[in-house]
Structure 1
Amino acid sequence: MSSELSLKSMLLAAVVLLASWCRPCHAEPLEITPFHTFNQSPLVQIYGLPAAESAVVQPAGKGWTLLAVDVANSYLKRETAREELFLDGEGERITLALRYGVASRMELGMDLPLVAYNGGVFDGFIEDWHEFFGLPQGQRPGAPKGGLGFAYARDGRQRLEMDEAGLRVGDLRFTGGWQLYNDGGDNPVALALRGSLKVPTGSSSRLTGSGGTDMALWLTGSSDYALPGKWGHATIFAAGGGLATSDGQVLKEQRRNLVGFGTLGFGWSPADSFALKAQLSGHSAFYRDSEFSELSSGAMQAVFGGTVAFSPRTTLDIALSEDVTVGASPDVALHLGMGHRF
């Protein structure tokens, strides 16, 4: 476990150090885009569920790269006469993403993820967070701290079991985007069609991949508004689409092969150097034939935080997410995303 904690500490330290070297700039209006994150549940992040992404694709000959770190902590223990579900652990997903404009109105890209699991260090913080804001604690009080184990049994048969810490390559994703509309104004209205293809380069037995191939197609749009006086500008953004998956190797007898997903959010940039953002992201169920709503029902997350611009080309997203539908997504997740345009 120490190696994974050291890796996490180095990544967070690198982001903080980079932020300390850079000074927020006041050069041009900050583009407000959705947080580049999605449900980090160990039973969901293995599939090709995409982030909403920007409604503006990269111009021809221009690109954007992102180093994102998602840290998610889960604890859930459910049992009936037929089923048992146990999720206890912390996951880190490190994603290196690249988007490049290959032609007018057309963008191609890829996401390379690294996925790690360990007992984690945020159990106590999450209990304090929930207590401070009066949020449901679920089954956390009294549960052992720092545990790692994901298991599911049905009708006396163990169908999932993973309790090994480690860092491994996840499932590689190829992405594409087509600009359907962009009015090109100072406060643009834009609409893009996006798609992704996820291939099984990860390990289904270690929950770093699903063992199958997934395809997603979605629309993402945004509308920006100038605010009066010195109040800056605000953006409303939304996305919606569908995901088609193969059965893969994780609970494949209970898989739903078609999943719908969507995001709705807004952001406010009172200055050119930062913006405040919030979004709701949800999806339908990935599994069926279970009495547990955590498997057979959809999920909804509230994500809130902001963006800091260190230069006209370099930004840092910082966000926390909270599960709106308890148990279907991690209790609390941290998202850091350092983006750079070139």
Structure 2
Amino acid sequence: MNRLSYGTIAALFISSLAAASPFPTRDQNPLLAGYGLPMPMSSRLATVTEWQWSADLNWASTALVQNEGAESLLVDAESRELRLTFGRPLNDRWTVQLQLPYRHTGAGNLDNLIDSWHDFFDLPEGERPHLPRDQFRIAYERDGDLLIDRTASGQGLGDISADMGYQWIANDTTSVAAWASLELPTGDADELMGSGALDASLVMAAEHRFGDRWSAFGQLAVSFLGDGDLLPAQQRSIAWSGLAGVSVAAWRGLEFKLQFDGHSVVFDDTHLDYIGDAFILTVGGAWKFRNCWQVDFGISEDIVVEASPDIVFVIGIGRR
């Protein structure tokens, strides 16, 4: 094999030093999917005026029963969200992007796999063994009134998000970007595809590199929620969210990542964990190519048990 061939392989499989990027995921709770809690945003914006895009899949499963005082909640559901993101720099400081989510919420076929996963790692299973396999129902009762009762699977376009980013800091080791995001009520709230309201978020994303291998990244956001159609009497108008993570370059373009996500409550006056605060751990990695293509792969677990889906599989591909 000649030097040119070796050089071609190196160009394909050895990534250059680049900013660590968070996993393309957020809380996949089907009761919160339509609300404007932002996805992770890039801290280092592209400077070349060409289109950037990504396709990210979050496949989640939840099985729980919660009762507290006058409230009761049953969630036995799978959700799959495919999110297409298209972005383009306006100049070396500003960029715009559009996020198009397509969601399915209903019955699924992950129960056997998740039972095996929990058994292997000796993780708590909660009510999962007592619920019918691969069935769908979301029911929420309060003070004797059944406020949510869904038994039919649904799918469709979610709430589209239009985002604008500003590169505040960008040097060899540190990057910080500010984002403003507007989530439009394009999803059907009755099908749990959207909230039925206009939501806005302000986001600060940052990353810092420690040498050639280690990086840390984080994000803090505040979301201003419009008057949605799901549990309107309990909905808050402001929610906070954030993430923090680390990544290490392991071999050529392969990196391993660990990420913590959390958010404040969206619904007031409840003692149920599943519609309260959430704290989520995602582990996995990414394969980075020298030409800016990247493949992400990860698994999310609910650190605060039954405050978010039991497990989420995260897969993403794109020019980031």
Matches within 5 A, 1:190-209: 190-209=175-194
Matches within 5 A, 1:80-229: 80=68, 82-183=70-171, 185=172, 188-227=173-212
| Correspondence for 1:12 | none
Q: Report the Cα distance in structure 1 between the residues aligned to 2:204 and 2:130, rounded to whole angstroms.
A: 44
Secondary structure of the corresponding residue to residue 88 of structure 1: strand
Give the percent of matched residue pairs that are identical in Structure 1 and Structure 2.
Answer: 28
The aligned amino acid for 1:305 is G
| Correspondence for 1:19 | none
Q: Report the Cα distance in structure 2 between the residues aligned to 1:28 and 1:324, rounded to whole angstroms.
A: 33
Q: Report the Cα distance in structure 1 between the residues aligned to 2:80 and 2:109, rounded to whole angstroms.
A: 12
Q: Could you tell me which of 257, 262, 267 is aligned with 2:237?
A: 257
| Correspondence for 1:16 | none
1:59-85 Cα shifts (integer Å, max 9, x gaps): 151332011111000111123452221
The aligned amino acid for 1:43 is L
Matches within 5 A, 1:277-288: 277-288=257-268
Q: Report the Cα distance in structure 2 between the residues aligned to 1:26 and 1:60, rounded to whole angstroms.
A: 21
**Contact in 2 for aligned 1:30/1:273 (Cα 8 Å):** no
Q: Could you tell me which of 33, 41, 53 is aligned with 1:65?
A: 53
1:196-220 Cα shifts (integer Å, max 9, x gaps): 1101100010000011111111111
| Correspondence for 2:3 | none
| Correspondence for 2:7 | none
Matches within 5 A, 1:38-49: 38-49=26-37
Q: Alpha carbons of 1:80 and 1:226: their partners in 2 closer, same or farther (altered >3 Å)? A: closer
| Correspondence for 2:4 | none
Q: Note the C-alpha offset of 1:46.
A: 1.1
Q: Could you tell me which of 288, 292, 297 is aligned with 1:309?
A: 288
| Correspondence for 1:329 | 308
The aligned amino acid for 1:93 is E
| Correspondence for 2:318 | 339
Query: 210-219 vs 49-58, which deviates more?
Result: 49-58
Q: Report the Cα distance in structure 2 between the residues aligned to 1:241 and 1:176, rounded to whole angstroms.
A: 14
**Contact in 1 for aligned 2:15/2:289 (Cα 8 Å):** no
TM-score, normalised on structure 2?
Answer: 0.93
The aligned amino acid for 1:192 is A
Q: Report the Cα distance in structure 2 between the residues aligned to 1:339 and 1:293, rounded to whole angstroms.
A: 34
Q: Alpha carbons of 1:283 and 1:81: their partners in 2 closer, same or farther (altered >3 Å)? A: closer
**Contact in 1 for aligned 2:19/2:209 (Cα 8 Å):** no
**Contact in 2 for aligned 1:24/1:308 (Cα 8 Å):** no
TM superposition outliers: structure 1 runs of 4+ over 3 Å: none
Is 1:300 the equivalent of 2:288? no
Q: Report the Cα distance in structure 2 between the residues aligned to 1:307 and 1:31, rounded to whole angstroms.
A: 12
Secondary structure of the corresponding residue to residue 90 of structure 2: strand
| Correspondence for 2:255 | 275
**Contact in 2 for aligned 1:58/1:99 (Cα 8 Å):** no
**Contact in 2 for aligned 1:35/1:51 (Cα 8 Å):** no
The aligned amino acid for 1:171 is D
Q: Report the Cα distance in structure 2 between the residues aligned to 1:24 and 1:250, rounded to whole angstroms.
A: 47
Q: Report the Cα distance in structure 2 between the residues aligned to 1:159 and 1:118, rounded to whole angstroms.
A: 18
Q: Report the Cα distance in structure 2 between the residues aligned to 1:212 and 1:108, rounded to whole angstroms.
A: 22
The aligned amino acid for 2:37 is L
Secondary structure of the corresponding residue to residue 190 of structure 2: coil
Secondary structure of the corresponding residue to residue 113 of structure 1: strand
Q: Alpha carbons of 1:161 and 1:33: their partners in 2 closer, same or farther (altered >3 Å)? A: same
The aligned amino acid for 1:36 is P
1:4-35 Cα shifts (integer Å, max 9, x gaps): xxxxxxxxxxxxxxxxxxx9512523542101
Secondary structure of the corresponding residue to residue 259 of structure 2: strand
- Aligned alpha-carbon RMSD (Å): 1.6
Q: Note the C-alpha offset of 1:138.
A: 1.1
Q: Report the Cα distance in structure 2 between the residues aligned to 1:166 and 1:159, rounded to whole angstroms.
A: 18
**Contact in 1 for aligned 2:19/2:207 (Cα 8 Å):** no
Q: Report the Cα distance in structure 2 between the residues aligned to 1:160 and 1:256, rounded to whole angstroms.
A: 18
| Correspondence for 1:13 | none
**Contact in 1 for aligned 2:138/2:148 (Cα 8 Å):** yes
Q: Alpha carbons of 1:207 and 1:234: their partners in 2 closer, same or farther (altered >3 Å)? A: same
Q: Note the C-alpha offset of 1:137.
A: 1.1
